[in-house]
Amino acid sequence: MTETAAAAEGRIHEFTTQSGADTIEVGRQLVRLLNPPQLLLLRGELGTGKTTLVKGIVQALDAAEPDEVTSPTFTLLHEYEGVRDGQPIRLYHLDVYRLDSERQLETLGLDDLLTPDALVLVEWGDKFKSIRKRATGEIAIALAGGDARKITVTLKE
């Protein structure tokens, strides 16, 4: 299927932002598109704004304020309990940048996280085949000159 047809079906969404605050706002808007269960790859070079985007998603789910959302660089996994349209949502924010092998990844128990009420967002998840295989979509952030970023959300269905 061409990208245009996929976009017409509402599976591809594009945003351009000019600041971190803008990207947080896009994160807030994204929440309505993300129906659990969902495992999304957060793609983009170091420092493009993956964690910044998660701040908005977490805030829109009433799970925490943006400044309480930090990078799970060393802890690997942060869990938030939120709500959307009265339905509880569990948000898992992972960063697997520092993991080197599928074996290390197994300790995270990814399959156990993906419950029917779960949104799982994985920074650097595209490093691992097992995560790519489970992904229901991706959010890609690309530099677009200065502080600008292009954010492309692709959902498989």
Interface with ligand ATP by CB under 6 A: which residues? 17-20, 22-23, 44, 46-52, 71, 95, 123, 147-149
Shortest Cβ 114–ligand ATP spacing (Å):
22
Shortest Cβ 46–Mg ion spacing (Å):
8
Is the bond into 36 cis (omega within 30 degrees of 0)? no
Q: Is 152 in the site for Mg ion (CB under 5 A)?
A: no
Of ligand ATP, Mg ion, none, which one does residue 44 interact with (CB within 5 to 8 Å by kind)?
A: ligand ATP
As to burial, measured by CB atoms within 10 angstroms (0-12 exposed, 13-18 middle, 19+ buried), residue 39 is buried
Q: What residue is closest to Mg ion based on CB?
A: 51
Q: Is 78 in the site for Mg ion (CB under 5 A)?
A: no
Q: What residue is closest to ligand ATP based on CB?
A: 49
Q: Which amino acid is at 94?
A: L
What are the DSSP calls for 72-133, one per residue? -TTT-EEEEEEEETTEEEEEEEEE-TT--SHHHHHTT-HHHH--TTEEEEEETGGG-HHHHH
Shortest Cβ 83–Mg ion spacing (Å):
24
